[in-house]
Amino acid sequence: MPKSVTRTYSRYTEEVLTLLAGLIRAARLENKMTAQDVADRAGISRGMLSRIEKADPKCEIGATFEVARIVGVSLFEAEPGRLAMHSKQVEQKLTLLPKSARKEKKVVMDDF
Amino acid sequence: MPKSVTRTYSRYTEEVLTLLAGLIRAARLENKMTAQDVADRAGISRGMLSRIEKADPKCEIGATFEVARIVGVSLFEAEPGRLAMHSKQVEQKLTLLPKSARKEKKVVMDDF
DNA sequence: CAACAATGCACTATACATGACACATATAGG
DNA sequence: CCTATATGTGTCATGTATAGTGCATTGTTG
């Protein structure tokens, strides 16, 4: 059962979230899109979009990315084509990498 | 009240999610980090991390970004310094942009 | 191969995000 | 200015994601 969840976020994470939120809002306004319109197209409520544009860390990542796409903010600064390519590269790398990680043997030699 | 929420995601969104998930998993394994370790550091459960690495669109964006930072995946391909700069730029742009968007006057002239 | 560790997955109870609605405020555009 | 409308914010009911757990499976290492 979920204990009272009160997450903390690093400054970097908050900055990224804020930047993304700002980009989305700016793009939406530049395109003269109504919050209601964008929300409808993304299949979310207007309140949800409002939280996304306010960099609320608890929003679903899928909804956020969908909104970004709708208003025209490109994630990963990559065009769709390259995206699939990168995915393939990562996939390949994953097949090479070990499938599980071992805990580093904490070799603490404090007796000498 | 929330109607039965069954969102649909565009192909692009799914690709981005998959790529991000793959990058995270690859980075974690390359760094020889245990799922449990990363989860602990991010303040989430191991199951949650598992879903993040499986590109589940319903994860909290904050948790996902935090994990990305921990394993060393840089969002927006930008180093922390530039990030704040970009944020400032966006912020400025936002002050110039209109604060609300008007619906486009659908001037449909089909009577001529 | 043996033994151990990491991961995947299913299940449950609960905290919480979400959608809907309503109201107040701000603001665009005439 | 005036007015329609876009947005911000709060509340509430409810669906659902989450943490925790245990177990099976897979993977690693000696």
Shortest Cα distance from B112 to chain A (angstroms)?
28
Q: What does the alpha-carbon distance between residue A24 and residue A42 come to, in Å, rounded to a whole number?
A: 13
The pLDDT of residue B3 is 73
The pLDDT of residue B83 is 86
- Distance, CA of B27 to chain centre: 17
Question: Using one digit for the tens of pLDDT, what is the confidence trace for A99-112?
Answer: 999 987 654 544 45
Q: Tell whether the model's pLDDT for residue B111 goes beyond 50.
A: no
Q: Tell whether the model's pLDDT for residue A35 goes beyond 80.
A: yes
Average of per-residue pLDDT values in chain B: 90
Q: Do B65 and A16 touch (CB under 8 A)?
A: yes
Beta-carbon contacts of residue B71 (< 8 Å; ≥ 6 apart) = B24, B27, B28, B31, B33, B38
For range A8-24, the mean pLDDT? 96
Residue A75 is classified by DSSP as G
Max CA separation in chain A (angstroms): 70
| Contact in structure between B19 and B73 (CB atoms under 8 Å) | no
Q: What does the alpha-carbon distance between residue A79 and residue A76 come to, in Å, rounded to a whole number?
A: 8
Is pTM, for the whole model, over 0.85? Answer: yes
Distance of C1' in C19 from CA in A87, Å: 34
The pLDDT of residue B62 is 97
Q: Sorting pLDDT into bands at 50, 70 and 90, what band is B84?
A: confident
Average of per-residue pLDDT values in chain A: 90
Question: Using one digit for the tens of pLDDT, what is the confidence trace for B9-62?
Answer: 999 999 999 999 999 999 999 999 999 999 999 999 999 999 999 999 999 999
The pLDDT of residue A111 is 46
For range B76-82, the mean pLDDT? 73
Distance of C1' in D30 from CA in A105, Å: 14
